Each structure stands twice: as structure tokens, then as C-alpha cells.
Amino acid sequence: MKRRSFIHAATAFLILPTVLKPSVSALTSGLRNRDYVFFDERFLKARHIAAAWADSSRLLGVQGGDITPLWSNGLDRTTRNQPLNLLGVTTESFHFCLRILVGEHADFDLQLARLDRNLFLWTMCTTPKATAERRHG
């Protein structure tokens, strides 16, 4: 590889993630339209960000990546029955598990930005998948 090509490739590698990464303000715009807002209570940064979201009606503190209690407490039904706008500042494991569970019942669009070594800021918009029962009434 020529030196010039190597420099171009290295520069693109460093610049491209910053260009593609959604801005924090873009991810949190329209906060009032969020159905659920999650934050990881273990991290001071997540608690501070959540405090700024205090007006949100469904602000839910979580401990780590376990979404099971929230999922089995109604979020699973809601995901199947209506579109949702979700927002979170959590660890990767939380939004990873949420993606898997939501994906069984709904299509979704996920936007994600890393805040630091532990935390991600993310938004997820879901649309319930059509089932045979819904299609035929």
C-alpha cells in the first residue's frame, strides 16, 4: 500500500465514526414524546442525564442489563400492541437485550451514541409486527 493511500485510509477511519455518530441533541430531541425513558442508576453520569429528563412521565431507573422485570411487567404487551418511542442512557447489555426482546414483536429503528466506556445514549422507535390475527381482523 502506498503511503498516501495509507494516510487517506487512516484519516477516513478516524473521521468517519464522528461523522456517522448521531449527536446527543439529535437523539434526545422530542423528549416529551417518549413513552419510556431508561437510565442505569449505578452510574452518576446516567443519573445526571436522567435528572435533566425529569419531566418525562415514565422515567425508569434500571440496575445493569436486566430488562426482564420491566419486560414481564407490561412492556412486552405494549410493544406488541402499539408503536413506542423509547430513550435510554444505559449499558450496552441493556439495549442489546431490549433489541432482542422487542425484535420478536415489533420492527424498530435504533439510534445509538457511546457516551463513555460504560454508557450509551440511545433511542428506539418501534412498530408492532403484523400478525395473522391483526391482518384478518
The total domain count for the chain is 1
Predicted local confidence at residue 19, as pLDDT:
39
Domain of 82? Answer: 22-136
CA distance 136 to 127: 18
- Cell numbers 384478518 correspond to 136
- DSSP, collapsed to helix, strand or coil, labels residue 68 as helix
CA dist 29 and 3 (Å) reads: 43
Query: Cα–Cα distance between 112 and 110 in angstroms, integer?
Result: 6
Question: Considering the domain boundaries, does residue 8 fall inside one?
Answer: no
* Residue 69 forms part of a structural domain: yes
User: For position 115, what pLDDT does the model report?
Assistant: 96
CA atoms of 49 and 107, how far apart (whole Å):
27
Residue 15 lies in a domain: no
Q: For 81-127, how does the pLDDT look when each residue is reduced to its tens digit (9 = 90+)?
A: 999 999 999 999 999 999 999 999 999 999 999 999 999 999 999 99
Domain membership of residue 11 (yes or no) is no
Instruction: Identify which of 8-17, 20-29, 36-45, 67-76 has the greatest average pLDDT.
Output: 36-45
Q: Is the pTM of this model over 0.75?
A: no
